[in-house]
Structure 1
């Protein structure tokens, strides 16, 4: 275990597994048989007063075998994984000192990892210092903070990206609070793990049996006084109680049991439920793995606010399907043809899965904001657009920093700008700067004149200027090859440099809970690496499907998140309706490659981040609804999901599925599947 101090100690048994899999019963049996004592590893059971809702050991069970780490703190108190690890180690030391066997049992994976491997905690947070550093970043940009970090802790600065503000602030906070750099802390204060002889027993019952067990437990919670317990806690504490918000059974209770006003106190943003059955069967319609494929720019008809963006009448899918006979039998079976309001020739009477549309709430129609919104983060303030070119001060600053003059600085199509300025670029070695009707700062360069790595460096400088000082959403590196204006062609070495999401997203929550997130295509760029456990860039949409299939073979659980960019880059922006139609057919031919590899507990979701109508008069993105196609063995066929009010409903659904706290926006449709 690199970078982890090791201390030898006697053996420990750990019993892990999903909710209602039998962990507690097995732990009790082992402890009774082997003269052991149980150490709870459950993030809800540490709270006093949450007995029914956390399925704590009964008084009789505690009389049979001593239990530890139950009823540690009040429900309104913070209790971290580090707190748990410290207390659990003391309990284990005490148990072993008395010659007994410690039996750790519970389903909170972060707690178990903290106990076995340890966590680096560092100095406490300083709210005042954080506020000052945040204000500095807003006034002067993230680059100023990063330069400050580089002066005091160059090792940390080398590891942390300029735009990763949270980590930069934490590193500065550690230095200011302790007088030692974060790097020094990591070298001297490695998290302490113990080399006990851990026997970890994982329970994995059949899904049908597990579903029945969870359903029985949930009903038993209601019958055993869950609602009364929750009301009693709400009566004692004024603040929001995270332990109650994390209880799925309580969130699903009908309104005649918990009124909507009370539910909103428990779960911010939640509404009412139908009267009657609390829906415990729906609680178990879980998926172990989600495959989300974003067809970049595949809109399905103008959004309600399209007029505000000048996009009345836009319908990417409808206009492409109407252009000729487009053969998409697999996508038609999934319900794609049911979504366009302007073309009826591809409708299916009963799609294989659930189908609907999503409208965008974010202020804009950009790739980044679209992806962030489907991950639960709505962008309220629009990024700045410089359709007439960037301010001269910004361009001069950029030229000084990169040591080159630029060509262009105007709004243009990516292919047309190469025809216009590509040959001059070959003569002068000056990069081509251009933008569009979207919030982008794009830099094109021939790969033999400015190699991709150098272009990426130039674009990072562009990020520091355009994004941090002039409010642009993202910088895009556009390498190309060719010898004349007739054969210039952009290469697959494109890279995006967007500002990071302004808040927590589904990917952050998944990563925090230990779920793998694998990004295919430009997903890693869009989320600036946050929450991504693995990623691969792609050379084409076909390669994107290949990489998705490979990820399905290697990623057993969690989220596989794919972006197919050719729809947008090669066909939408170029007003190429025939090319768009052909690419749609190519995607359709590859759909079976994905669906045939799906497991019983997989869910496949096909959607988009915005429109990019190739039949539109402009070459820009279009404000459109996007598809929402959901397929899987556990998805009821022919289920219409309607028009969702926000892309964030997708993120809310996956958050509920993976048992994460509610996201900042969105309403889950998990029950409707």
Structure 2
């Protein structure tokens, strides 16, 4: 088992499929958009033919109006019957969490969830100023979780996590990163965006909006989707839509590269073609 990381549009999926076929491995996708059914073009997920060639986990698992978090990927990972897998995806935060570990959460009843929703960030600050100082006042997910922990255990989140330290899900995982220069990546992003629009990205987003009728869904806030929704609102022309998706994707790629650089110090980085040879030459150690 090993992980393959890199910024969006760097060629991770194609390389993972090529390596999986050569090594007789399967693939676990750690992608916050490919996990959704019905979002095929915007997520740039592997084609139907590619999914038939290599078994994938973490793709087409839930519908866009269903909630998920890193625990969903952990659940998927634990159900894989073997560990001859390549973990690949742009959402490196999930990979980091699986390596660093996650604390066992207390049992949260529906009553506690409803009660927590009535409270605010200020209530969390009073309950646990240390925990509150580490998160944004707009981070509704962590605010809710912190309040739920307090209501369920009568302990501050800080004290709870001290007594329930994170337990790694994956240990001693080799990590390989696709190294790519900014200009080459920008050109790949342009090409991918062009192909997405040609394949019917606008129609796909129109379908999603018509079916789910809720632009607040996380899936409809993803890059590629939110820009098309703005296009529907008359904010962009088709030419501006293309440029906006390219720009926002490039910004995402930069954030991903910074995250990978700071969070995975022991990774092996190399350009695409060279990285393939490095991995194949090390396969006996993986």
Same fold judged by TM-score > 0.5? yes
Partner of 2:232: 259
Which structure has more helix as a fraction of its residues?
2
Shift of 1:183: 4.9
Partner of 1:344: none
Note if contact 2:193-2:246 (Cα within 8 Å) is conserved in structure 1. no
Shift of 1:514: 10
Q: Select the residue among 240, 247, 258 that pairs with 2:223.
A: 247
SS at match of 1:85: helix
- With over 3 angstroms needed to count, the CA separation of the structure-2 counterparts of 1:282 and 1:246, relative to structure 1, is closer
Note if contact 2:7-2:253 (Cα within 8 Å) is conserved in structure 1. no
Partner of 2:271: none
Alignment of 1:212 onto 2:212: no
Shift of 1:251: 4.2
Partner of 1:110: 93
Alignment of 1:353-432 (within 5 A): none
Shift of 1:38: 0.4
Partner of 1:238: 213
Alignment of 1:95 onto 2:82: yes
Deviations 1:139-174 (A, max 9, x none): xxx79x73xx4xxxxxx667766xx98989865642
Inter-partner Cα distance in structure 2 for 1:33 and 1:181: 50
- With over 3 angstroms needed to count, the CA separation of the structure-2 counterparts of 1:242 and 1:30, relative to structure 1, is same
Shift of 1:114: 2.1
- With over 3 angstroms needed to count, the CA separation of the structure-2 counterparts of 1:173 and 1:59, relative to structure 1, is closer
- With over 3 angstroms needed to count, the CA separation of the structure-2 counterparts of 1:232 and 1:184, relative to structure 1, is same
Alignment of 1:501-540 (within 5 A): none
Alignment of 1:106-505 (within 5 A): 106-120=89-103, 122-123=105-106, 124=108, 126-131=113-118, 133-134=119-120, 146=126, 149=127, 173-179=148-154, 182-183=157-158, 185-194=160-169, 196-240=171-215, 241-248=217-224, 250-253=225-228, 258-260=231-233, 272-276=235-239, 278-280=241-243, 283-284=246-247, 286=250
Note if contact 1:53-1:226 (Cα within 8 Å) is conserved in structure 2. yes
Note if contact 1:37-1:95 (Cα within 8 Å) is conserved in structure 2. no
- With over 3 angstroms needed to count, the CA separation of the structure-2 counterparts of 1:190 and 1:514, relative to structure 1, is farther
Shift of 1:126: 2.4
Note if contact 1:254-1:275 (Cα within 8 Å) is conserved in structure 2. no
Note if contact 1:89-1:115 (Cα within 8 Å) is conserved in structure 2. no
- With over 3 angstroms needed to count, the CA separation of the structure-2 counterparts of 1:188 and 1:232, relative to structure 1, is same
Shift of 1:134: 3.9
- With over 3 angstroms needed to count, the CA separation of the structure-2 counterparts of 1:275 and 1:45, relative to structure 1, is closer
Alignment of 1:512-661 (within 5 A): none
Note if contact 1:85-1:118 (Cα within 8 Å) is conserved in structure 2. no
Inter-partner Cα distance in structure 1 for 2:46 and 2:4: 15
Q: Select the residue among 67, 76, 88 that pairs with 1:78.
A: 67
Deviations 1:377-412 (A, max 9, x none): xxxxxxxxxxxxxxxxxxxxxxxxxxxxxxxxxxxx
Shift of 1:68: 0.6
- With over 3 angstroms needed to count, the CA separation of the structure-2 counterparts of 1:103 and 1:251, relative to structure 1, is same
Taking structure 2 as the reference length, what is the TM-score of the superposition?
0.72
Shift of 1:13: 1.0
Shift of 1:86: 2.5
Q: Which has the higher contact order (CA 8 A, sep 6+)?
A: 2
Deviations 1:416-454 (A, max 9, x none): xxxxxxxxxxxxxxxxxxxxxxxxxxxxxxxxxxxxxxx
Shift of 1:210: 1.1
Aligned length: 251
Note if contact 1:109-1:514 (Cα within 8 Å) is conserved in structure 2. no
SS at match of 1:279: helix
Shift of 1:188: 4.2
Note if contact 2:12-2:178 (Cα within 8 Å) is conserved in structure 1. yes
Partner of 1:635: none
Inter-partner Cα distance in structure 2 for 1:289 and 1:233: 25
Which structure has more strand as a fraction of its residues?
1
Shift of 1:15: 0.6
Deviations 1:477-528 (A, max 9, x none): xxxxxxxxxxxxxxxxxxxxxxxxxxxxxxxxx8xx8967xxxxxxxxxxxx
Alignment of 1:15 onto 2:11: no
Note if contact 1:82-1:114 (Cα within 8 Å) is conserved in structure 2. no
Note if contact 1:252-1:278 (Cα within 8 Å) is conserved in structure 2. yes
Note if contact 1:21-1:213 (Cα within 8 Å) is conserved in structure 2. yes
- With over 3 angstroms needed to count, the CA separation of the structure-2 counterparts of 1:222 and 1:78, relative to structure 1, is same
Inter-partner Cα distance in structure 2 for 1:225 and 1:85: 32
Flag the structure with larger Rg. Answer: 1
Unaligned regions of 5+ residues in structure 1, if any? 1-11, 150-155, 261-270, 291-509, 517-555, 558-673
Alignment of 1:34 onto 2:23: yes
Partner of 1:58: 47
